[in-house]
Structure 1
Amino acid sequence: METINPAFLYCDQLVSDFEKVVKTPILNKSSVYYTGVDLGTAYIVLAVLDENYQPVAGAYRLASVVKDGMVVDYIGAIRIVRELKQELEQKLGTELIYAAAALPPGTFSLDSGAIKHVVQGAGFEITNLLDEPTAANAVLKINDGAIVDIGGGTTGIAILREGKVIYVADEPTGGTHFSLVIAGAYKMSFEDADQYKRDAKNHRELIPVLQPVVEKVSSIISRQIADYQVKEIYLVGGTCCLKGIEDIIAKQTGLPTYKPQNPMFVTPLGIALNCTQEIL
């Protein structure tokens, strides 16, 4: 049940435009380019916007440099971001100077320095560092509700009231745990399980296998939002690409649960929308 929510009209259009420019960059010259760098547990994504904050190029790569929201391979992270930056600069025929980045909620004091140094180490001037749910909401534009960002390693939750984030939390459970369950159930390696999970053709068959993990994510959500009058849940993050995940979460939490067409690119685009020319 893919629920079309009017709130996602802007989001789905922006993501659709981004998916097109990943394949075919827009080469019209812009006076400035804004880049969002999303260091995920499974993927590193770079989203490039023009002076009008419209998508012009993007690139992403499978990477395992972040674990549970923390950079664990610092040199590897810099190398991949630098390579993606150079690839996009070559396509656009220009230097990319300004970038913003984001962290899972609750990890600012622990890891903000590392993320900042990765982006700077790759050759960018960093202009903003924000939490991932706030970045996602630049695209979702939700006034009231909970944004749940299910990434590779963690589930981040942000509760919004009147468009402002009033509470954030982050707990370890995400796509990595999905892959571990698949590996166990199908007697395959973690890498093979990870690939199997990414193929949408396998989702219907995987839902019963993954239901206990999705229910665990649902219980995390329920616990974190218990003290707030949340009426709706909005899903983002690559792990939410699993078809039917929203139905299980809606049933377990008892709340309407929505997700945009491609939840993987919402946060990187939101990060790019928060990029400026003011260096931190």
Structure 2
Amino acid sequence: MVDLKDVNKTLKAFNDIVNTKKHNPFDKKGSLKVGVDLGTSSIVLAILDEENNPVYGSFEFAEVVRDGLVVNYIEAVQIVTRLVQEAEEVLGVELTEAATAVPPGTLGNDYKVVSNVLESAGLTVTTVVDEPSAAACLLNLDKGAVIDVGGGTTGISIIENFKAVETMDEPTGGTHMSLVLAGYHKVSVKEAELIKRDREQEKTTFMIIKPVVDKMADITKQFLSEYPVEPLFVVGGASYFDEFAAVFSKYLGKDVKRPDYPQFVTPIGIAIASKQ
């Protein structure tokens, strides 16, 4: 059963670590759970203790993945290597293994490349989990749906027994929000990204990109019409706007919950899955 208060407590602790670039106390004799999330707009490193308490976390904005595919292998390896080395310096321990994740339905070489990135960064890959199942790990969601709004796509996954069993992935995500902002403000996409992330401009920005959110909600409604499940959770970096979940709730006619710091749900879930 999902305890959103407990989930949000974990997310806040992780976010605080990311912002302070410090670490929480941990037993150096115990084992750590490490997760690496290669996202469309950033790469996130999440490290937990044996009881799934956040120990350390960091991220770096990057454009090395597009629609779940690694499009800049060398830069991806360099960033993961850098994040791991920084973590080792802060924690005073060597990190030798980690888990990672792929979009559901990823097969063949595309599946292997994600693991290869970690291995080229000096890590042994313990687990490769699909992203919605990773989110379900943190949420402790045994049945329901995860709506993952990333940089490139909106993925809707039906969860049963903590695993994704049905999934739809639509190419509408945070990048499309940035394109709309770029057109509205007559600036570059990179400048639009900065506007999108500026919390002081959030209300105005949300009004501008709301048609994109409406489209995401409509896509979700159509898919879930065949799967009348609850509870419903929206995660992913592009869903961080305060009014985001309310738009989905209105479209779906059901309560859609969004954890705090939704951009960190999947990375922490990957770390949890690393030792399962």
Deviation, 1:243, is: 2.0
1:152-182 deviation per Cα after TM superposition (whole angstroms, max 9, x unaligned)? 1111211124544321222211100000000
SS state of the match for residue 3, structure 2?
helix
- Asked whether 1:242 is paired with 2:241, we answer yes
Contact 2:98 2:127 in 1 (8 A): yes
Alignment of 1:63-212 (within 5 A): 63-109=62-108, 111-161=110-160, 163-212=162-211
Are residues 75 and 134 of structure 1, via their aligned partners in 2, closer, same or farther at CA, if it must alter by over 3 Å?
same
- Asked whether 1:25 is paired with 2:1, we answer no
SS state of the match for residue 173, structure 1?
coil
- Asked whether 1:9 is paired with 2:5, we answer yes
Measure the CA separation in 1 of the matches of 2:256 and 2:51. 31
Are residues 30 and 204 of structure 1, via their aligned partners in 2, closer, same or farther at CA, if it must alter by over 3 Å?
farther
Deviation, 1:51, is: 3.0
TM-score scaled by length of structure 1: 0.92
Contact 2:11 2:261 in 1 (8 A): yes
* Aligned CA-pair RMSD: 1.8
Contact 2:81 2:121 in 1 (8 A): yes
Q: Which residue of 1 aligns with 2:270?
A: 271
SS state of the match for residue 14, structure 1?
helix
Measure the CA separation in 2 of the matches of 1:51 and 1:151. 28
Q: Which residue of 1 aligns with 2:50?
A: 51
1:53-106 deviation per Cα after TM superposition (whole angstroms, max 9, x unaligned)? 321111100000011111100111000000000000011111111200001122
Which shows bigger deviation, 144-153 or 220-229?
220-229
Measure the CA separation in 2 of the matches of 1:111 and 1:226. 31
Are residues 255 and 185 of structure 1, via their aligned partners in 2, closer, same or farther at CA, if it must alter by over 3 Å?
same
Are residues 73 and 167 of structure 1, via their aligned partners in 2, closer, same or farther at CA, if it must alter by over 3 Å?
same
Deviation, 1:27, is: 4.9
Note the residue ranges of structure 1 that are not aligned, 5 or more in a row: none
1:7-54 deviation per Cα after TM superposition (whole angstroms, max 9, x unaligned)? 312211111221233322135424222210000111100001123332
Contact 2:2 2:141 in 1 (8 A): no
Q: Which amino acid aligns with 1:16?
A: K
- Asked whether 1:37 is paired with 2:36, we answer yes
Deviation, 1:195, is: 0.6
Which shows bigger deviation, 267-276 or 159-168?
159-168
Measure the CA separation in 1 of the matches of 2:2 and 2:25. 31
Q: Which amino acid aligns with 1:256?
A: D
SS state of the match for residue 251, structure 1?
helix
1:219-245 deviation per Cα after TM superposition (whole angstroms, max 9, x unaligned)? 221222221112332011100112211
Q: Which residue of 2 aligns with 1:258?
A: 257
Measure the CA separation in 2 of the matches of 1:160 and 1:178. 27
Which shows bigger deviation, 135-144 or 62-71?
135-144
Contact 2:102 2:131 in 1 (8 A): yes
Alignment size in residue pairs: 273
Q: Which residue of 2 aligns with 1:62?
A: 61
Contact 1:181 1:210 in 2 (8 A): yes
Are residues 108 and 222 of structure 1, via their aligned partners in 2, closer, same or farther at CA, if it must alter by over 3 Å?
farther
Note the residue ranges of structure 2 that are not aligned, 5 or more in a row: none
